[in-house]
């Protein structure tokens, strides 16, 4: 059986990386596709672990050689998924998890319609802003020299990310599953259920009561079931942009 490709997208600061790391620790036969990027490492990030950090020249060479399944330019930096990770996962009998943005997800879905796509959302704009500020504070502690940003610059970056998040969330109808990351433990359980449910659906085996329970949890995250909740989240962004005017 060929590898199942799981696409996980989310606005910056929604907790996608935490969820993905937890998922990889509890579900067997899952491999993570480490994205290539031209951006600088943040905090304690290591090359080959969170990302493969490469120069712009190297990234553009890989584009020209057709080595990417998808790639995009986000906030002035390239991010991309190398095709080799899919081949490696299949050879090892694993499924592959992609942590990519909405542009990349659309490219992969076009090339591989059987891929399972999942969108992680913050419960509200206010909560997302809180998480982004918290992350900004922790980055501030490890910044040095030329990388040191002023508070004004930080604030500008956070506002830009919130605006981008509002635009990204509008792409929610193109995803199979929506996961509102409110309570971390509950979100991990749901994410695990989605991965296992997709395996069950493709296995063709007789379902046990425990399997049916897994399917039920996964189905509660299907797009039609959470559409109303997503609209509430989108409204929290719209209301905020109106209250802030053009600033």
At 38, the pLDDT band (50, 70, 90 cuts) reads: very high
Q: What value does the mean pLDDT take over residues 157-170?
A: 91
Cβ-defined contacts of 205-209 (< 8 Å, 24+): none
Beta-bridged to residue 121, according to DSSP, are 180
Nearest to 122 by CA among 232, 22, 25, 33: 232
Give the percent of the chain with pLDDT over 90.
71
What is the tens place of the pLDDT at every residue in 207-245? 999 999 999 999 999 999 999 999 999 999 888 665 554
Answer for the pair 154, 95: CB distance below 8 angstroms, yes or no.
no
Q: 188: which 2 tokens?
A: 């991990």
- Host H or E run for residue 95: strand 95-99
Q: What value does the mean pLDDT take over residues 135-152?
A: 71
At 145, the pLDDT band (50, 70, 90 cuts) reads: low
CB-count exposure of residue 75 (10 Å: 0-12, 13-18, 19+):
exposed
Beta-bridged to residue 71, according to DSSP, are 80
At 246, the pLDDT band (50, 70, 90 cuts) reads: very low
Determine the pLDDT at residue 247: 41
Q: What is the 3-state secondary structure (H, E, C) of 174-216?
A: HCCEEEECCCHHHHHHHHHHHHHHHHHHHHCCCCCHHHHHHHH
Q: What is the CA radius of gyration of the chain?
A: 19
Answer for the pair 236, 169: CB distance below 8 angstroms, yes or no.
no
Q: Tokens 């970056």: give the residue.
A: 157
Q: What value does the mean pLDDT take over residues 22-27?
A: 96
If you ran DSSP here, which 8-state letter would residue 174 be given?
A: G
What is the pTM for the complete model shown?
0.86
Q: Which has more confidence, 15 or 193?
A: 193
| 19 pLDDT above the threshold of 90 | yes
What is the tens place of the pLDDT at every residue in 45-84? 899 988 999 999 999 999 999 999 999 888 799 999 999 9
Determine the pLDDT at residue 186: 96
DSSP count for the chain of H helices, then E strands: 9, 9
Whole-number mean pLDDT of the chain? 90
Structural domains present in the chain:
5-32+97-243 (3.40.50.300)
The total number of residues written for the chain in this structure = 247
């Amino acid at each position: 059986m060929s590898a199942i490709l799981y696409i996980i997208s989310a606005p910056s600061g929604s907790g996608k990386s935490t969820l993905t790391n937890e998922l990889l620790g509890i579900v067997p036969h899952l491999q993570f596709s480490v994205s290539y990027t031209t951006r600088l490492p943040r905090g304690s990030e290591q090359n080959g672990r969170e990302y493969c950090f490469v120069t712009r020249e190297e990234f553009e060479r890989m584009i020209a050689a057709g080595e990417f399944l998808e790639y995009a330019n986000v906030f002035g930096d390239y991010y991309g998924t190398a095709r080799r990770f899919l081949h490696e996962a299949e050879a090892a009998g694993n499924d592959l998890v992609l942590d990519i943005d909405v542009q990349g997800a659309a490219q992969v879905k076009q090339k591989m319609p059987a891929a399972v796509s999942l969108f992680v959302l913050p419960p509200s704009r206010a909560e997302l802003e809180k998480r982004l500020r918290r992350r900004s504070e922790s980055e501030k502690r490890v910044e040095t020299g030329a990388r040191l940003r002023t508070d004004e610059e930080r604030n500008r970056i956070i506002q830009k990310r919130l605006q981008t998040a509002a635009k990204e969330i509008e792409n929610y109808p193109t995803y199979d599953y929506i996961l509102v990351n409110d309570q971390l433990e509950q979100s991990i359980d749901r994410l695990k259920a989605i991965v296992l449910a997709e395996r069950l659906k493709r296995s063709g085996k007789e379902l046990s009561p425990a399997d049916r329970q897994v399917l039920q949890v996964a189905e509660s995250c299907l797009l039609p079931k959470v559409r109303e909740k997503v609209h509430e989240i989108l409204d929290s962004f719209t209301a905020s942009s109106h209250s802030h005017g053009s600033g």
